[in-house]
A and B are shown apart, each in its own frame.
Chain A
Amino acid sequence: MLHTLAEPLLAVRGLTRRFGSLVAVSEVSLDLLAGECHAVIGPNGAGKSTLMGMIAGEIVPDAGTVLLGGEDIGRLSVAARARRGVGRTFQITELCSEFSVRQNVLLAVQTRFASPFHFLRRADRLSRLAAHVDAALVAAGLIDRAEHPAAILSHGEQRQLELAVVLACRPRVLLLDEPAAGLGLSETEELANRLAALKGRIAMLLVEHDMDTVFRLADRITVLAEGRVIASGSAEDIRADRAVREAYLGEMVDA
């Protein structure tokens, strides 16, 4: 267990959330090391989205906390966590649909340069921002679509754009909530390539149903069922874990 020696970049400690009598997430702990991809898998209703929501700050946990680089961020707002380096893509793409592709990226890039409280200079004419925006658009393969409203992009392009937007903030930790949802085979392949290229540079916490993508990207996997961690370990360990295979992976592959 080499991983335990290193200080985790993101540490989830005992997160618990109840909705009425339902315990959606129960005392979940996991570590995310710098540069690694840690996948969280589990059947529908296992509590994956609730867990993501608590790490991002959208859902207030009943117990437990989250540490980012050793700092307790468990009581901070969504925006404050984002400013400390928590980037997030959503299960259903969240973009500014009337803005152009370029404006969406610009909105993200400008968060890296001081506060948004600048009033007199046109944001789209600031050359030091524009260079970063162009670079991000080229990297995302969206430079040809730069002036189109985000709303008219295809589903796959919107997913690409959302990832480009989040990456443009230079997050320390990337929370990916089912990034392959609704994508076709070739698009999923392309996405996996993009994410694979990020490995080693950005720590990723990946919630995903597509097992090919998970096993291709994940260094470690945590398996949730009914809100609890039923297994956690390296991708090979999880693949070999008989209980997980029988209880969950078989189901998923068939589904």
Chain B
Amino acid sequence: MAEAAAPAPRVRPDGILALGGVCLLAVAPPVLEALQADYLLPTLTRMLAYGLAAAALDLVLGYGGLVSFGHSAFLGTGAYVAAALLHHANRGTPVVAWPFVVSGTSEALIILPAAAAVAGILAILIGAISLRTRGVHFIMITLAFAQMVYFLVLAVPEYGGTDGLMLPGPWRVGGFPVQSDAPRYWFAFVLVLLFMLVAQRAIQARYGLALRGARQNERRLLALGYPVFAIRLLAFTLSGACTGVAGALLADVAMFVSPDLLSWQRSGELIIMVVLGGQGTLIGPLIGAFVLLALEEELSAVTEHWMLVLGPILLLCVLLFRRGIWGMVSRAAYSG
């Protein structure tokens, strides 16, 4: 982490690099179309969604120092909330009939807050218990909760059980149906950008200072009077809610949800994205998501034993770039 670096110049080289990346992502749809490669757009959207989830995990893992091995629970919950609302809207049946009626909807501006809310509430419940533990115990208890959610969803036949659930159609944003890949991509892009900007501010604000301080020295923070548990629970909750939004985006781009999104492998992938890209950097996990998914895609096209190749590559990356890809880049930017 470059938290205590010398007084930063107004424009930092890594800032320019990040801005360049944002511009590149912003113009991706027309560029890909010109290159006649617009079939890649859904993949890019998927990368953005995973990037959002990884960056959200980074709040807890990188800045909070809490290794959550259960973020697939929030990813899957967000996806299933989106799928259920679309599914019931299509059928004209209520999602919840008792104690109050919740009907389905295909409006993304309702679906996304709903996904965030349900995943966030789940995160409060899981966090309130898990955050009483430390270290390996925290890893195991978050994993255990995610497994519980996994089996819970498997047990609901309405949403397809192990087979998963096909979405009846795309959602609408502000009443306009999102029919093609480009608007869907841009929608995800704007959400990721918004998250990055707000999260970046929050970690430099008084709250972020306290969250990062608690990772470095909990005893000192408590002795200064900081409500460390509440600070961490809030980070966990916001992280879970944003991961839920990422899950909803994934559901929409795939037009399909399955319990696979809730499996512990997804939690592991999110951790790999964070560590690979550089924990405690926000941008790093987004890059990590792009790199990991691209590697998966490319390697699986070459060989069915792609995991055998991916494993050593990841190992090398972690060994060579201790601070992750973005950690190395921003460090080189400082010294160079």
Residues in A lying within 8 Å of B, measured CB to CB: 56, 77-80, 82-83, 87-88, 90, 94-100, 103, 106-108, 110-111, 116-124, 126, 147-150, 165-166, 169
Contact = CB atoms under 8 A, between A and B. Distances in A.
Interface string B210-229: 10110011011111111110
B3 interface: yes
Contact of B213 (A56, A78, A87, A99): A99
A95 B221 CA distance: 9
A39 B195 CA distance: 52
A79 B225 contact: yes
Nearest to A118: B206
Contacts of A169: 224-225
Interface of B is mostly: helix
Contacts of B204: 122-124
Given A77-B222, A82-B222, A119-B207, 20 more contacts: A56-B223, A78-B223, A79-B228, A83-B225, A94-B219, A95-B217, A95-B220, A96-B217, A97-B216, A98-B216, A99-B4, A103-B3, A103-B4, A107-B209, A120-B202, A120-B205, A121-B206, A123-B205, A165-B220, A166-B224
22 contacts: A82-B225, A95-B217, A95-B220, A96-B213, A98-B3, A99-B3, A99-B213, A106-B209, A107-B213, A107-B224, A117-B206, A119-B201, A119-B205, A119-B208, A120-B202, A120-B205, A122-B204, A123-B204, A126-B206, A149-B4, A150-B4, A166-B223
A148 B207 contact: no
Interface of B: 1, 3-4, 6-7, 198, 201-202, 204-210, 212-213, 216-217, 219-228, 231, 234
A222 B209 CA distance: 39
A110 B225 contact: no
Nearest to B203: A119
Given A99-B212, A107-B213, A116-B210, A94 B223 contact: yes
A99 B205 contact: no
Given A79-B227, A97-B217, A120-B202, A110 B3 contact: no
B202 A111 contact: no
A94 B198 CA distance: 31
Among B207, B208, B223, residue most surrounded by chain A Cβ atoms (within 10 Å): B223
Contacts of B225: 79-80, 82-83, 111, 169
Contacts of A98: 1, 3-4, 212, 216
